[in-house]
A and B are shown apart, each in its own frame.
Chain A
Amino acid sequence: MKHIGIILSQPPVYSETFLNSKIKNLMEAGFKVTVFSQSQTKEKFYFEHKKAYPAQGNWSLLCFLPILIKLLVVRFTETVKFYTLGRAEGQGMFAAIKNCYLNAHIILNKPDWLHFEFATLVVTREHLAKALQAKLSVSIRGYDMAIYPLKNPNCYQKLWKYIDKLHTISDNLALLAKHNGLPASVEVVKITPAIYTSNFSLKSNHGLITNKVKIISTGRLNWIKGVDYQIYAASILKQLHIDFTWVIIGDGNEFERCTFLINQHQLQNHFILLGKKNADEIAKLLGESDIYVQYSNNEGFCNAVLEAQSTGLVTIVSDAGALPENVLHSQTGFIVPKRNPQALANQIVEVIKTEPEVLKAMTLRASNRVSTAFDIQSQAKKFIEFYQT
């Protein structure tokens, strides 16, 4: 039985359907799955969870030496190899020893395959899989490829040297990985995100735009989600005397920025920050809305856009990141240039003016495409193949 070690910063919570369905399906297919994380949670999971030994505070000082001794007794060869490879990669003596301690929970369990769910999690331990004689694979996300390397140039050079297989959720991210130095020799497998379409079933009045237009968006209140551009677009709609409400689901570190802009443009009766909602509440809110907008500055793929299309909302997205792969322009939704509130407002106005039959056909097409191309079962099969070959 192949033992797959999945490395995350936190074990997946209930709402993270993407990771949960992946882990469950791998387990059902007969793989042994262990999730390794930094979290010190005592929560019990349906999968095996191994947490890292304390990295800070008094406990780390107490554990450091005993764990190193345990590593040398139980996994002498792997520990020495991890240390030696670390030194060869330019790590200082203490940094290499500390790295052994920080990864002791993985070394002691010695999986056959290490899969890092985010590329940034691999940095400084790219050689871990080699030391364990395990396979190394990595999933890349928007932040990993579009932002982190800008602040840390050449951060993935060592990863590319050791990686066996790369999982991308979009062609756009694969392209960015190449831009960040991924050699052509590394196998890249695209497995797009998927949703439980039954949770987001097509509403009866799909494609219908009500008199008071109900626009909805989801995403953290963070610059990457382009909320400020959405507020500027809402201000243009208001000037055009369009009767609308625009709700944003999600919280984040830029609440002050969003609230200020909403007040500055006197949009308090139009633009509403709803905060964080659970999956059921999101499904209900989507069912009550007409238009879904995802006007991000960058997106790895965006599950929320799939959920909106599945529900039958007219979907408008920016042309950033992988959104043009998620929505097909004029077929399953609309794509507008990013960072251009006027273009976004124009597109919303255009949608309001469009014949209902056209929107009905479009939303049906979008929902069908999500059901066939982004369903969770076919995704599960692809992940099983990913680890079998």
Chain B
Amino acid sequence: MDISALPCPTFIKSSIENIASRHHSLHIFTQVKGAYTFENSSIYIHQRPKKAIPTFVVFFQNIFKLLLKSPARALHIWKHYSSLNFYSRIKEFNRIAPFYIYTLDVIHIQWLKSIIKLQYILENKPCPIIVSVRGTQMFVSPQADNEIHRKYLELLPKVHAVHVVSEALKKEVSLYTHSPVYLINAAIDIGFFEYKKPSINTNEILQLVSVTRFNWIKGLSILLDAIYILKQKSIRLKLTIITSDMPNEEFIYQIADLDLKNEIEIKNRLSPKQIHKELLKNDLFVLPSISEGRSNAILEAMSSGVPVLCSNFNGADDLIVDHYNGMLFNNGDSNDLAQKIELYFQKSNTEKINIAENARTIIESSYNIDSQTNEFINLYNRFVK
């Protein structure tokens, strides 16, 4: 499995742990930021260091192992990168060689953009290769960068199979390749994100929550504009932003510009347990993303019984049926978002509870980690000789 860096997002980590728990051994090829381990002893991390001295150490280990196993392959990889300077050549060797040192049944590339740097293994396949396609790297990057678009067109047809997390992504991938595309939903541990019937807010202040990052693609500026619109209408509300990064300049300025200091609270670096607890304190989860593959945060909110309001980005309607198991607003439209927030709070208690219950039902049936693990193992088994 190639994942560009560790620590990786929770959804990849859970997936790795669950697959390993079914008596499969996983080799993870990655760049490690600091010490990182998995509890399961059948997960092996093969790291590519960033610094020069460890890079040379790993290079000598890799070249020794590969020369023993396949000298021709070692020579071929080394020659392949002959146009690079010596240090870059060593780094690329460290990236590619492990795929040939270990005997693998399937290679799963977790991030689409990585196929560009892993072009060598796509052209000299050590075993079947599957690539996962998630939101931004398919919806955003190739549109803004012609070179990425060109590389996807060239390289995606070379993989054996593509894994996607939504129907919208499946459609987008078909523009690049005829390779088989498998939809395996994102998933969460529904036992951990336990359902709690929505409590009815008797407080006058509406409590909103969003789990997000400070990146334009997450649409926070639209949410802040909507809150400003509601504030102008004298609606009292509070938004809690749960995040793992620091607010950017755009966000800080917008809060000051719209005088929303009292309406916004940021909670940083919470554990999954704390996130669950925090979600339950709020009335409505808002996901204002401009584009998403599949947000795990929204799955966690739906599993926990917190009704969700989500932008109708490409693929949102795979998950949300408007007014049935959540609500949708027009992507990028802060006026519509403000109206939908108001509309939600005008709903009867029964309607709110129905939405929460329907949301939990769909998470249980289609987005739980156990069925996702089964589907991944089935997918790998299709290609294991």
A residues at B contact (CB < 8 Å): 146-147, 150-151, 223-224, 228, 232, 235, 254-257, 259-261, 263-265, 297-298, 320, 339, 342
Contact = CB atoms under 8 A, between A and B. Distances in A.
A263 B332 CA distance: 13
Contacts of A235: 332
Interface in B52-79: none
B257 A297 contact: yes
Given A150-B252, A260-B143, A254 B216 contact: yes
A255 B144 contact: yes
A256 B253 contact: no
Nearest to B332: A232
Interface of B: 139-141, 143-145, 216-217, 221, 225, 228, 249-250, 252-254, 256-258, 290-291, 331-335
Contacts of A342: 335
Nearest 10 Cβ contacts at the A-B interface? A256-B144, A259-B144, A223-B250, A263-B143, A257-B216, A260-B140, A150-B252, A150-B256, A339-B225, A260-B143
Contacts of A260: 139-140, 143-144, 217, 290-291
Contacts of A228: 216, 221, 332
A235 B290 CA distance: 15
Nearest to B229: A340
Contacts of B139: 260
A297 B253 contact: yes
Contacts of B332: 228, 232, 235, 261, 265
A180 B249 CA distance: 18
B291 A264 contact: yes
Contacts of B291: 260, 264
B140 A146 contact: no
Contacts of A261: 290, 332
A298 B257 contact: yes
Given A151-B252, A223-B216, A256 B141 contact: yes
A254 B217 CA distance: 11
A298 B256 CA distance: 12
Contact of A147 (B225, B249, B258, B290): B249
A342 B253 CA distance: 22
Contacts of A150: 252-253, 256
Nearest to B253: A147
Contacts of B256: 150
Nearest to A257: B216
17 contacts: A146-B253, A150-B253, A150-B256, A223-B221, A223-B250, A224-B250, A224-B253, A232-B333, A255-B144, A256-B145, A257-B217, A260-B139, A260-B217, A260-B290, A261-B332, A263-B143, A265-B332
